[in-house]
C-alpha cells in the first residue's frame, strides 16, 4: 500500500555576493535561478525508499535506516529520513526527480532536492511547517546526514527566494528582505567546466580554519570584527586571512545591497570584483582557470564578476549590460572553450 502522490519544486540559486560567511555571522545575497527541479513523492507504508532521476539510468533502492554512502541519491534519502523524523510521512517513499540544475556547479542542486522533498512531504501531510523551518531542517540533512558542514544560505534561498529578485539574508537571525535586480543589466551565470563536491573535504577545511579564528578572537561572528584589527592581529596565517575575508566580504555585501537599491551598477560591480580578489587571495578558494574566466569576463565588458558558491570549481557570476550581453558571452565562451552558459537572472 502507498499514499497519494504529491508534487513540489525548488529552483537552483546563484549567490551574487557574500561567500563562506553564512556560517560566520554575515549577510548574503543569493537569487533564485530559472533552472530548478521537480519532485514527485509517493509515501510508502514500508521503510523502503526508491529514487529515480532524469540524470541517472538506474533507480536507487535505499532504505529509511541507511547511512549516507557517497551515492547520488544520498540527499533524497536524508530528506526522506528527516521528513519521517518530523512525522510528515509514516514510512519510506518513492521519489521521482526531474532536474535542470547541473550537479557540482555551486548552484545548490543538493539543497534544492532536499527542500523540494521536504515541501512535498509537507504537502502530503497537510502540515503548516514554514518555508524557513523547511530550510533549517534541510540544512540539518546536509550537516548531520551528509556530513557537509554548510551554512544556511542555500536552503533559505531555494526555499524562499522569489524569481527575479535577490534575497538579502541575515544568516544569524534569518531575517530577510527582497531586493530588486537591475533592469538594464543581466546577472549572468557561466559554468567554468570544473566541478567540485562539498563533501571532498576542502569546504570543511576552510570552515575549520574559520573556527580557529573564532576561538582566537573569542567570537562566533567573524563578520562583526573590524578588518583593521584582524589585519594587524597576531593570529597566524591562513587563519588571519580567512577572518579578514569574512569581515571584508560582509561589508561588501552591505555595499552591494546599497548599490542595487540605488541602481549604482558601477558600485555593485566593484564590490563583486573585490569579492573575487578576497576569495582568491584571502580565502584561497579559487583556481587559476576560474581567475582567468573572471578576469576575461571583466576585460570583455562585464561591470563586475566573481566566483560564486563553495569554491574550487563551479560557476562565476557576472553583471553585464543587457544590450552588450550576447556579444560579451560569445567572446567569453570563445576564449574559454570548457566554459558554458547556465542562465541569467
Ligand atoms: C556552499 C554552502 C553554503 C555557503 C557557500 C559559500 O554553497 O552550502 O552554505 O557556505 O558554499 O558561500
C-alpha–C-alpha distance, residues 290 and 281, integer Å: 13
Task: Specify which residues 39 forms β-bridges with.
Answer: 8, 97
Helix (H, G, I), strand (E, B) or coil at 109: helix
Instruction: Give the burial class of 121: count Cβ atoms within 10 A of its Cβ; 0-12 exposed, 13-18 middle, 19 or more buried.
Output: buried
Residues touching ligand 1 (Cβ under 6 Å) are 15, 19-20, 22, 150-151, 153-154, 309-310
Q: 199: pLDDT confidence band, cut at 50, 70 and 90?
A: low
Same domain, 130 and 156: yes
Q: 197: pLDDT confidence band, cut at 50, 70 and 90?
A: low
Same domain, 145 and 56: yes
Q: 243: pLDDT confidence band, cut at 50, 70 and 90?
A: very high
Is residue 114 scored above 70 in pLDDT? yes
User: Distance, CA 162 to ligand 1 centroid (Å)?
Assistant: 19
Which residue range(s) make up the domain with 215?
185-344
C-alpha–C-alpha distance, residues 153 and 165, integer Å: 15
**Cis amide linkage into residue 22, ω under 30° from 0:** no
Model confidence pLDDT, tens digit, residues 314-325 = 999 999 999 999
Strands 93-99 and 30-43 come out as antiparallel
C-alpha–C-alpha distance, residues 275 and 245, integer Å: 8
User: Distance, CA 214 to ligand 1 centroid (Å)?
Assistant: 18
Grid coordinates of 160: 524562499
Asked if the structure places residue 148 within a domain, the reply is yes
Residue nearest ligand 1's atom 1 by CA: 310
Helix (H, G, I), strand (E, B) or coil at 95: strand
Indicate which atom in ligand 1 lies nearest the CA of residue 148: 8
C-alpha–C-alpha distance, residues 167 and 161, integer Å: 6
User: Distance, CA 15 to ligand 1 centroid (Å)?
Assistant: 9
Structural domain ending residue among the three candidates 122, 150, 180 = 180
Biggest CA–CA distance in the chain, Å, is 66
Among 309, 312, 314, 317, residue to substitute to test ligand 1 (most atoms within 8 Å of Cβ): 309
The residues assigned a catalytic role are: 154
Structural domain ending residue among the three candidates 180, 195, 214 = 180
User: Distance, CA 126 to ligand 1 centroid (Å)?
Assistant: 31
CATH of the domain at 29: 3.30.230.10
Indicate which atom in ligand 1 lies nearest the CA of residue 111: 8
Neighbours of 338 (CB within 10 A): 11
Grid coordinates of 301: 565588458
What pLDDT is stored for residue 1 in this prediction?
Answer: 56
Same domain, 196 and 166: no
Total number of domains constituting the chain: 2
Same domain, 229 and 103: no
Same domain, 176 and 212: no
Asked if the structure places residue 278 within a domain, the reply is yes
Amino acid at each position: 500500500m502507498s499514499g497519494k502522490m504529491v508534487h513540489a519544486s525548488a529552483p537552483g540559486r546563484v549567490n551574487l555576493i557574500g561567500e563562506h560567511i553564512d556560517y560566520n555571522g554575515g549577510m548574503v545575497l543569493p537569487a533564485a535561478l530559472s533552472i530548478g527541479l521537480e519532485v514527485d513523492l509517493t509515501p510508502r507504508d514500508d521503510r523502503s525508499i526508491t529514487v529515480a532521476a532524469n540524470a541517472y539510468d538506474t533507480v536507487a533502492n535505499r532504505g529509511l535506516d541507511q547511512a549516507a554512502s557517497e551515492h547520488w541519491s544520498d540527499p533524497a534519502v536524508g530528506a526522506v529520513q528527516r521528513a519521517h523524523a518530523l512525522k510528515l510521512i509514516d514510512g519510506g517513499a518513492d521519489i521521482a526527480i526531474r532536474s535542470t540544475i547541473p550537479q557540482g556547479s555551486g548552484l545548490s542542486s543538493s539543497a534544492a532536492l532536499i527542500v523540494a522533498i521536504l515541501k512535498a512531504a509537507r504537502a502530503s501531510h497537510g502540515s503548516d511547517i514554514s518555508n524557513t523551518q523547511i530550510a533549517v531542517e534541510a540544512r540539518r540533512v546536509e550537516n548531520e546526514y551528509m556530513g557537509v558542514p554548510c551554512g544556511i544560505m542555500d536552503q533559505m534561498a531555494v526555499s524562499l527566494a522569489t524569481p527575479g529578485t535577490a534575497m538579502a539574508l541575515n544568516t544569524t537571525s534569518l531575517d530577510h528582505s527582497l531586493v530588486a535586480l537591475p533592469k538594464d543589466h543581466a546577472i549572468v551565470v557561466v559554468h567554468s567546466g570544473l566541478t567540485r563536491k562539498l563533501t571532498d573535504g576542502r569546504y570543511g577545511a576552510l570552515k575549520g580554519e574559520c573556527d580557529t579564528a573564532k576561538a582566537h578572537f573569542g567570537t562566533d561572528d567573524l563578520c562583526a570584527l573590524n578588518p583593521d584589527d584582524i589585519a594587524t592581529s597576531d593570529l597566524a596565517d591562513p587563519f588571519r586571512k580567512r577572518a579578514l575575508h569574512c569581515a571584508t566580504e560582509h561589508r561588501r555585501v552591505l555595499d552591494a545591497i546599497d548599490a542595487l537599491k540605488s541602481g549604482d551598477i558601477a558600485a555593485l560591480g566593484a564590490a563583486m570584483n573585490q569579492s573575487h580578489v578576497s576569495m582568491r587571495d584571502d580565502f584561497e578558494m579559487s583556481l587559476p582557470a576560474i581567475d582567468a574566466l573572471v578576469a576575461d569576463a571583466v576585460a570583455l565588458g562585464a561591470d563586475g564578476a566573481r566566483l560564486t558558491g563553495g569554491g574550487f570549481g563551479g560557476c562565476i557570476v557576472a553583471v553585464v549590460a543587457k544590450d552588450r550581453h550576447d556579444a560579451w558571452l560569445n567572446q567569453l565562451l570563445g576564449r574559454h572553450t570548457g566554459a558554458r552558459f547556465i542562465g541569467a537572472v
